[in-house]
Amino acid sequence: MLRNCLLLLLAACSLTATAADKYLVDQEHTFSNFEYKHWGLSLQRGRFDKNSGSIELDMENKTGSLQIAIEAESINTGSDTFNKILRSPSFFNIEKYPKITFQSNKMVFNEDKLVQVEGDLTIKDVTRKVVVDITQFECRFMILYLKRACGANGNTKILRSDYGVGRYVPFVSDEVTLSFSVEAIKE
């Protein structure tokens, strides 16, 4: 009987050790940025200020998943006039499509470093596969939260015309670089 109890305890510990850790996106430290060439004159940048989501990481098995939701109305270019234009039906149409989402079930690791995340990016109900190259990835105990936290930076390139936001192509570049700064706190 004691032997069976010990075996059950060991089995439970081994299952816990390989289970994925769950993290919630820290909305105060997570931003989605974009940059594009404006009429061939300059490189312009903006960001979406409201991002939410969750991440699961199984560092032992080098697997994970993530779900990020970006509120389209939170677009911020530094210009109220331009923000209104980008929120309009001519671009993001935020009344009809309030969220931009990224969902991934494939994370690529090089030893203990996350190097790529593959998933589906959805803008205006158009979903396409993208690969986000991770340029920075760290996890550690954060004294501020008294919990473990992870952070990452990454980027990918898309064609905005693929997602129905291609107005003024080719004068305003079709290619857009998306960059992400994500921090998440373990539940």
3-state secondary structure 97-166: CCEEEEEEEEEEEECCEEEEEEEEEEECCEEEEEEEEEEEEEEEEECCCCEEEEEEEEEEEEEHHHHCCC
Q: What is the pTM for the complete model shown?
A: 0.86
- pLDDT confidence bin for 171, thresholds 50/70/90: confident
pLDDT digits (tens, 9 = 90+) for 50-103: 999 999 999 999 999 999 999 999 999 999 999 999 999 999 999 999 999 999
Q: Structural domains in the chain? A: 20-186 (2.40.128.110)
Determine the Cα–Cα distance for residues 107 and 167; give it in Å rounded to an integer. Answer: 33
- pLDDT confidence bin for 18, thresholds 50/70/90: low
Q: What is the mean pLDDT of residues 137-166?
A: 95
